[in-house]
Amino acid sequence: MSLNNTSHPGRPGLDELVPSRYALKVGAIDVMVVSDGVLSLPGTMLGHNADPAVRAAWLEDKFLPPDVLEWALNVVVVRSGGRTILIDIGIGMEFPDLPRAGKLAQRLKAAGIDPASVTDVVLTHMHMDHCGGLLADGVKERLRPDLQIHLAAAEAEFWESPDFSRVSMPPGFPDALRRTGKRFLKEYHSLMRTFENEYEVAPGVVVQRTGGHTPGHSVVRLASGGDRLTFAGDAVFAVGFEHPDWYNGFEHDPEEAARVRVRLLRELAANRESLVATHLSFPSVCHVAVAGDVFRWVPAVWDY
């Protein structure tokens, strides 16, 4: 038996043997996590300040291979107050060496979401796996002319002249990220709506700047009817629960990124709200538990 896990445009559901979307409610807000696919990256970028033996042991303990890390790439669609909001937009065709990602366009189509119905895009930051989808062929033409793209002013400013001196990325990535950032600013400048610290995109949908991962990195807080969920973008990775002080290779200010991570995880553990993050295993809906300085990822029960 062979499993074909690609979804086929125009034939929603039929060939989706591997689920690529997961819907839930946060009070009156509709939320759908959609997978853009998987990024295959070197295991070292999990924690470039970690002892290699400890890092290898962590991978071993998680039943993961020592060299290649398969990183989920989650995007979220939110509907509130008559607006349809995409939080991040996947990698598009920005890095051909990552052929297992860039599936968002076909998966939105399979989910019955027309790009022309999207009123707002929120970017947690401008790394290519979060903004590249808007640069894919044929996408811009299908968007509404009054689309608003929300991002922190510090993020837009950073990508005018980005500093890569503190990152530890695989070869080829810094150049590709610079190229995508530049192109994005050029293509979408007129649709960008920047904010300083936070902005309410729709009722109960607030984007908040955290900094750290990139200077304008932001998270999205959803709140409705006493229910809460945070989309953490790249503030939290799977390894960050047990080792929040490990520096991820893509963090432009690793010390600040670790402080942001710990602060956010502590808050989520205290108020018991749900967490979704870009690179946690799909659909990534979970809670955060804490014991001392170590956090634990508690996956939500799959509701179907």
Residues engaged in binding Zn ion (CB under 5 A): 129, 234
In angstroms, give the least distance from the CB of 279 to Zn ion.
6
In angstroms, give the least distance from the CB of 101 to Zn ion.
11
Q: What angle do CA 215, 217, 219 make, to 5 degrees?
A: 150
In angstroms, give the least distance from the CB of 278 to Zn ion.
5
**What's the rounded Cα separation, in Å, for the pair 304 and 301?**
9
**What's the rounded Cα separation, in Å, for the pair 43 and 55?**
8
In angstroms, give the least distance from the CB of 38 to Zn ion.
12
Residue with tokens 């047990």: 242
In angstroms, give the least distance from the CB of 190 to Zn ion.
25
Minimum CB distance to Zn ion smaller for 71 or for 195? 71
Minimum CB distance to Zn ion smaller for 202 or for 264? 264
In angstroms, give the least distance from the CB of 46 to Zn ion.
13
Q: Rounded to 10 degrees, what is the CA torsion of 236, 241, 244, 249?
A: -50
Edge-to-edge strands of the sheet including 148-152?
Answer: 21-26, 29-42, 68-80, 83-87, 120-122, 148-152, 192-195
Minimum CB distance to Zn ion smaller for 224 or for 281? 281
**What's the rounded Cα separation, in Å, for the pair 41 and 55?**
15
- Residue 93, token pair as written in the block: 């065709």
Inter-residue contact 297 to 238 (CB < 8 Å): yes
In angstroms, give the least distance from the CB of 74 to Zn ion.
10
Beta strands of 198-299 (E only): which ranges? 198-202, 205-209, 218-224, 227-231, 274-276, 286-291, 294-299
Minimum CB distance to Zn ion smaller for 94 or for 120? 94
Minimum CB distance to Zn ion smaller for 129 or for 155? 129
Minimum CB distance to Zn ion smaller for 119 or for 278? 278
Minimum CB distance to Zn ion smaller for 16 or for 129? 129
- Residue 207, token pair as written in the block: 């984007």
The pairing of strands 192-195 and 68-80 is unpaired
